A = this chain, B = another copy of it.
Amino acid sequence: MSATITQGNTLPRLEAPVLLRIDHVGIACRDLDAAVARYQQAFGLTVVSQEVIAEQGVREAMLQVGQPDGPVFPGGPASWVQLLEPLGPDTPVGKFLARRGEGLHHVGYAVADISAALAELAPKPFRLIDERPRHGSMGASIAFLHPADLGGVLTELVEPAAG
């Protein structure tokens, strides 16, 4: 009996991918340069990376929140505001803007091992947009989970680049 209770208490923890922290919020905007300027003016955030990710149809800027000169590691305190401008109206972010306007597009959580995280989710009733990791911002490996199973929130898992 006590063995059953112990198993019941520990199993969900062992089976779930451990989220280390909120890695970033993705914000859809019509004009990337204007959005960057606004966030810099409001909060003095530093742009640490600016990329065109053609595969995702976006031009993006990553602005670091916290510890601009401190260490960045998977479980560490740094997090990012990711500003996303669509490369065209037929991209996912372009369609999002047409439907909902500017605003929060997705949230990303850091994990230590993206492949292990996807393997732990695979047997559960959560739809994976990416069944295998793909390349994300700043050298990270990422995978998206479907919003319909997570309260309408497009959710990204991020294994930051080893640094």
Please state the number of chain copies in the assembly.
Answer: 2
- Find out whether the CB atom of A21 lies under 8 angstroms from the CB atom of B66: yes
- Find out whether the CB atom of A152 lies under 8 angstroms from the CB atom of B102: yes
Q: Which of A50-58, A77-85, A86-94, A134-142 touches B?
A: A77-85
Query: 10 interchain pairs (CB within 8 A)?
Result: A15-B44, A16-B43, A17-B43, A18-B43, A19-B66, A25-B25, A65-B109, A77-B77, A102-B152, A104-B107
Q: Which residues of A contact B (CB under 8 A)?
A: 12-13, 15-22, 24-25, 27-29, 35, 38-45, 65-67, 75-79, 83, 100-107, 109, 121, 124-126, 145, 147, 149-153
- CB-CB nearest 10 A-B residue pairs: A16-B44, A103-B152, A102-B152, A104-B104, A22-B79, A21-B66, A22-B22, A13-B44, A19-B65, A77-B77
